[in-house]
Structure 1
Amino acid sequence: MLLSSRRRLRAALLAAASATLVAAALPSPTPLGIGDPLFPHLGNPGYDVVSYDIALTYNGTNTTPLDAVTRIDAVATQRLDRINLDFTHGTVSEVVVNGLPAEFATAGEDLVVEPAVALQRGSQVRITVAHTSDPRGAASAGGWVRTGDGLAMANQADAAHRVFPSNDHPADKAYFTFRITAPSELTAVANGLAESKHRNGTTTTWSYRTTHPMATELAQVSIGSSAVVNRQGPGGLPVRDVVPAKDRDQLEKWLAKTPGQLEWMAEKAGPYPFETYGVLVADADTGYELETQTLSLFERSLFTNPAYPEWYVDSIMVHELAHQWFGNSVSPRTWSDLWLNEGHATWYEALYAEEKSGHTVESRMREAYKHSDQWRTDGGPPAAPKPPAPGKKISLFRPVVYDGSALALYALRQTIGKEAFEQLERTWVSEHRDGTATTADFTALASEIAGRDLSVFFREWLYGQRTPAMPGHPDWRNTAPKQAAAR
């Protein structure tokens, strides 16, 4: 017994000495990335996340940090002496890797973790991070959005790691579980389906889980004085809307539209790809709406401002709904593939307005064509967008990725015909469901379905500095782009 203890002590000392030598040999922690053309430091190499389990504790005020624990289950795809996670805007108190305390440091917007034992390729890894999640800061930076009664999330394109440690790139999708503890008078919701609700005196813990993988930028948690309105969509799909409780009756007119919009989109693109859907109305001025998975985020003013005509609000609702197929179920492999998200959502937004309200796609595309060259000059062509302006990451979302990209889809339909185009759309979301895909994947599938090589068409429409002539509309003209001032 005594001899065995001495042997264990000696082995532990030798292991500690060996770990010290290895640590000394490692370079200083540095931020990494997967080399995304637009966000080169986003994401991290060496592992594939399988799931996130995120526990958040909200104390009732949206001006103080939340306490949080994020557990990440992943598989190492190479030997790792260190693990880089994307994380900023919070304080880390402890990191545990596979049950053992780990050293950690920050480098840029990375949390660099050094496990007690190096991870071997193919091994499973569980990383548990105790941290805070700070809702304070510039709203334009993304992450938490402070609402009139609490919080919501807006993580696109690279802001999920302002909320929780992650591999914050859509190329690495994973399953999510959220456990949110908040004062019992509030309501907490998140992506996916509700699993449980437990009251603990003055607080309640809500649990939600996704049944399909999700990109970090699509995560959603809302905490506030909310009403949750449940109804059924096509085929019995659970539809869950979350709105400020005081606005429940006023917003019913809009909420009641969702089942019909779901049915319309399913006719165009195939069955709805997730376990639930709904509208999250936030009392906040963000300047945008957002397609967070299964629970799209909308500003309250979209539905309450009488200046917006009904057909316009309807089409914006369909835009975010269409993203559940295009961008959420089929996610971009890189952020340069963003046109596949926004171009398609804009396309279905315009098509819905045409079929339901008589605002024709052709007239909208003709107007877009007039400005397309200017948009390309300002922001690059659809599939090769210019990086966002320094300090203004949301500037990536320029007109060229919306109507400019829908214009390319219109040209494609003009080229291959309506029947082939509709087959392409349905096949695209079916073949790549729950995955990621690239522009090259889309162009290859289009050529296959059309039965001819479309590489020249796509090279001109997706990568050209000038907009090609519109098939079937030789009279359409572009407004000459303004020239940049000489320096």
Structure 2
Amino acid sequence: MPLPSHASRTPNPSPRARGARSHRLRSAVLVALSAGLVAATLPASAPTPLGIGDPLFPQLGNPGYDVLTYDIGLTYPGRNTAPLAGVTRIEALATADLDRINLDFTHGTVSAVTVDGEPAEWTSSGEDLVITPARPVAEGEALEITVDHTSDPSGPEDSGGWVRTSDGLAMANQADAAHRVFPSNDHPSDKAYFTFRITAPSTLTAVANGLRESRVRDGDTTTWTYRTVHPMATELAQVSIGTSTVVHRKGPHDLPVRDVVRTADREVLEPWLRRTPGHLEWLESRLGPYPFENYGVLISDADTGFELETQTLSLFERGLFTEPGYPEWYVDSVMLHELAHQWFGDSVSPRAWSDLWLNEGHATWYETLYAEEKGGPTLEQRMKAAYGASDRWRADGGPPAAPKPPEPGQKISLFRPVVYDGAALVLYALRHEIGAEAFERLERRWVSEHRDGTASTADFTALAAEVSGRDLTRFFADWLYAERTPPMPGHPDWRSPAAGRTAAGAAKPG
């Protein structure tokens, strides 16, 4: 996510043909139960907002079904303050008997809903769209939900969803804002395949996650269709509409690399765009093959305050590359950070939002290693500084694997230093504890064994113990969940000034 500013190429299988394989896309309710979350009660007599019980976003997601595919049609009117017309089709598998079906959706107007082709009743409750189908849905039944709606880009942009750029729109849905754009099961535990059909004035270019399937002009408008080859979490969806140029080149193994920039910025940004193949090679040498069908950067002329790892097409602010004062190594490493997320957070998605440290800690780890090679601070310098601030970060934001909820009205305040450098510090300690060779094997196995899936902190700690042949229970209890930062293996002299105390309670010297 929000990093604050300062290979398969097979087509999408049909969900109805893949019914027996739907276990690969775990249902939200089963995932919640396996992660130890509190599953919400299924619909009763009165329409109510539901959730799968995520401790940080308790009303995100909905129990009772597993989404297999989204087909999202959006028609852009040519003004980025006017609502887009939308049609969202969802194919899913029921994992429980359902009298009602809840979707996450807000900031749009619904005009019609069908379930399996039959008109359905609907109402809003909180940020849920509550649908009553013409007949109840039985557990194990495939269902198709179609919602005709608008998607409104107006309103405060710090709430997430649509981002208004100088020439159109882009998306920033993390952590809980995809349902401000389209109806969905808006939790990363329920990944699905996506198709986007974007109709816009023919003077504009539309781009979305995945591979372009078609571009069809009809008079003054053009419809662009994109399809993902791998499943994706809703928070990683990306649609860009604007006066853009799409720049194509090849990455390692002939991987398609496509960058999206304002046409006016094409030449000035090229020195940065051409770096991506090298970034890919660098990460592949450490983690194995890049996990998706293509990659590129979307550089928007907008003031978001962060960069974002939307799947296959990372979102960046133009100012990161054009404002004076940022060292070259810094910009380079920020690009590497978002690319690292394609492995950590996108391919391997968090099962619950408290697993966020796995995303941000790993992206920060590889960003730091890369920055060191390019002239930035060394890994040891950055980790020593992080250690010195770690107790303060834990007090402010909670331990890395048990972060405090975001502040009311400030949803992205979840992305605090403790899940960035504070989490990278955990990885630094782990590498000291188990050795560099075991750590590198752990990293490769993690992204390989959980590719295209979701995984939890418990999964990571179990794999670390298996790879190292060590009982790491106490190590992870202290480093991931303790209020205070434990001693750093290999660096007994490091101190965290906010809490330098001995076991007996006497203050340690600074």
Regarding TM over 0.5, the answer is yes
Whether 1:110 and 2:128 are equivalent positions in the alignment is yes
Whether 1:175 and 2:200 are equivalent positions in the alignment is no
Aligned to 1:257: 275
| Match for residue 145 of structure 2 among 110, 127, 150 | 127
What is the identity, as a one-letter code, of the residue corresponding to 1:317? M
| Match for residue 267 of structure 1 among 277, 285, 288 | 285
Whether 1:54 and 2:46 are equivalent positions in the alignment is no
* C-alpha contact 1:153 1:220 (8 A) present in aligned 2: yes
| Match for residue 420 of structure 2 among 381, 402, 407 | 402
| Match for residue 301 of structure 2 among 283, 291, 312 | 283
Deviation at 1:26, TM superposition (A): 5.6
Q: Distance in 2 between matches of 1:419 and 1:244?
A: 44
* C-alpha contact 2:330 2:376 (8 A) present in aligned 1: no
Structure with more relative contact order (C-alpha pairs < 8 Å, separation 6 or more): 2
Mark the CA change 1:442 to 1:63 in structure 2 (over 3 Å): closer, same or farther.
Answer: same
Aligned to 1:455: 473
Deviates more, 1:473-482 or 1:352-361: 473-482
Q: Distance in 2 between matches of 1:260 and 1:380?
A: 36
Whether 1:337 and 2:360 are equivalent positions in the alignment is no
What is the identity, as a one-letter code, of the residue corresponding to 1:236? D
**Counterparts of 1:87-236 in structure 2 under 5 Å?**
87-236=105-254
| Match for residue 440 of structure 1 among 447, 458, 463 | 458
Deviation at 1:325, TM superposition (A): 0.1
Q: Distance in 2 between matches of 1:354 and 1:91?
A: 49
Deviation at 1:359, TM superposition (A): 2.5
Deviation at 1:357, TM superposition (A): 2.2
What is the identity, as a one-letter code, of the residue corresponding to 2:187? H
* C-alpha contact 2:337 2:363 (8 A) present in aligned 1: yes
Q: Distance in 1 between matches of 2:62 and 2:201?
A: 36
| Match for residue 374 of structure 2 among 342, 356, 364 | 356
| Match for residue 315 of structure 2 among 275, 287, 297 | 297
* C-alpha contact 1:175 1:213 (8 A) present in aligned 2: yes
| Match for residue 48 of structure 2 among 18, 30, 44 | 30
What is the identity, as a one-letter code, of the residue corresponding to 1:150? G
Deviation at 1:27, TM superposition (A): 1.4
Q: Distance in 2 between matches of 1:26 and 1:84?
A: 12
Deviation at 1:28, TM superposition (A): 1.5
What is the identity, as a one-letter code, of the residue corresponding to 2:140? G
| Match for residue 323 of structure 1 among 337, 341, 357 | 341
Q: Counterpart of 2:246 in 1: which secondary structure?
A: strand
Whether 1:367 and 2:385 are equivalent positions in the alignment is yes
Q: Distance in 2 between matches of 1:228 and 1:141?
A: 28
Deviation at 1:376, TM superposition (A): 0.0
Aligned to 1:63: 81
Aligned to 2:406: 388
Q: Distance in 2 between matches of 1:79 and 1:27?
A: 14
Q: Counterpart of 1:324 in 2: which secondary structure?
A: helix
* Identity rate, percent: 74
Q: Distance in 2 between matches of 1:305 and 1:413?
A: 36
Deviation at 1:479, TM superposition (A): 1.9
* C-alpha contact 2:391 2:485 (8 A) present in aligned 1: yes
Deviation at 1:63, TM superposition (A): 0.6
Q: Distance in 2 between matches of 1:374 and 1:60?
A: 47
Q: Distance in 1 between matches of 2:343 and 2:487?
A: 29
Q: Counterpart of 1:35 in 2: which secondary structure?
A: coil
Deviates more, 1:351-360 or 1:46-55: 351-360
Aligned to 2:503: none
| Match for residue 477 of structure 1 among 470, 474, 495 | 495
Deviation at 1:356, TM superposition (A): 2.8
* C-alpha contact 2:113 2:120 (8 A) present in aligned 1: yes
Q: Counterpart of 1:357 in 2: which secondary structure?
A: coil
Q: Counterpart of 2:497 in 1: which secondary structure?
A: coil
Deviation at 1:481, TM superposition (A): 6.0
Aligned to 1:81: 99
Aligned to 2:6: none
Unaligned stretches of 5+ in structure 2?
Answer: 1-42, 501-510
Note the alpha carbon deviations across 1:443-487, whole angstroms, 9 max, x for none.
0000000101101000000001000010000111112169xxxxx
**Counterparts of 1:232-247 in structure 2 under 5 Å?**
232-247=250-265
Number of matched pairs = 458
Q: Distance in 2 between matches of 1:400 and 1:303?
A: 26
What is the identity, as a one-letter code, of the residue corresponding to 2:141? S
What is the identity, as a one-letter code, of the residue corresponding to 1:332? P
Mark the CA change 1:480 to 1:134 in structure 2 (over 3 Å): closer, same or farther.
Answer: same
Question: Post-superposition, which runs of at least 4 consecutive aligned residues in structure 1 deviate over 4 A?
Answer: none
Note the alpha carbon deviations across 1:252-282, whole angstroms, 9 max, x for none.
0000000000000011111000000000000
* C-alpha contact 1:377 1:481 (8 A) present in aligned 2: no
What is the identity, as a one-letter code, of the residue corresponding to 2:160? G
